Amino acid sequence: SAGLRVEARAAEYADSDGAEFSPDDAMTGGHLSLTGDFGGRSAWYATASRGYKAGGFNIGALVPDERREFAPEYLWNLETGLRAASGDGTIEVSLALFHMWRESQQVATSFQVDPGDPLSYVFYTDNAASGRNYGLEATLGWRVHPSLVLDATLGLLESRYVDYRYGDRDLDGREQAHAPGYQYSLSADWSSPRGWMARADVFGSDAFYFDASHDQRSEPYTLVNLRAGFEARRWSAYAWGRNVFDEEFAVRGFYFGLEPPEFADRLYVQRGDPRQLGVTIEWRIR
């Protein structure tokens, strides 16, 4: 199979501060894929594709003139993989290997214009020179018993900036922001013919860099979610818990000077959701 997409995007912006932007981009993407079967319940594929994200502009009186506009990003991706299942369908597996080349990579970042003024902290989108991402994704599903299903997923990722400078910082070869080296999940789903059910999910993630403007990192974490209850044809009721062990984990991190009198740079972290417990009752009207 093959596909081609050509898109033209234009925008105009003006404000009372005299800022004016009129980006106009013509972008081309597409894909070429080969697929085939081997065995009754197995298949392989190989794909070469090119995608894109449109450019744009950053709004704000404190954004430097040279950072006002950012260019489109293009992504070349090579991917190959397979999907297979046992003859009786009780085991299903999939594996994908990928390598991505990112051109004019768009990077969401931030900086503090005046080290002594926390109100001068601004967010904007920048273009890195380029980037490389490669890794694998794998899944496994196993129906151990008609009432019990086990699932597992694994993602491994290597990411790098290439020829990217942020101010006086040389980020060539550094991992990209928000790109953990691994992520995994495990789940067990049990259901009784009489309607009782229970499910447990475990999700884990490696540490990652918060931003391109600094080298602060998160910590690895593991989350556990549980659910148990009863399901009938027209109604269901179950108790649930998310992050049941109340794991503290970071989703965003900002490093800048906020606290007087020295206004020394410090890491400020946005945490993910804490432990949540609840009961859900559903009634379905047919």
Question: What are the tens digits of pLDDT across the range 220-279?
Answer: 999 999 999 999 989 999 999 999 999 999 999 999 888 888 888 899 999 999 999 999
End-to-end CA distance of the chain: 41
Q: 23 near 55, Cβ under 8 Å?
A: yes
> pLDDT over 90 for what percent of the chain?
70
> Residue 166: how many CA atoms within 13 Å on its side-chain side?
24
Predicted TM-score (pTM) above 0.85: yes
pLDDT recorded at residue 258: 84
Cis previous bond, 261, omega within 30: yes
Runs of H (alpha helix) within the chain: none
d(CA 215, CA 6): 38
Q: Which two tokens stand for residue 36?
A: 């085939």
- Return the structure tokens found at 218: 């998160």
How far apart, in whole angstroms, are the C-alpha atoms of residue 40 and residue 86?
A: 9
pLDDT in tens, 174-230: 999 999 999 999 999 999 999 999 999 999 999 999 998 899 999 999 999 999 999
Instruction: With H, G, I as helix, E, B as strand and everything else as coil, classify residue 192.
Output: coil
pLDDT at 113: 76
The residue count of the chain comes to 286
pLDDT: which is higher, 159 or 16:
159
List of E strands, 175-248: 182-191, 196-205, 221-231, 235-242
Query: What is d(CA 40, CA 14) in angstroms, rounded to the nearest whole number?
Result: 60
Q: How confident is the model at residue 146 (pLDDT cuts 50, 70, 90)?
A: very high
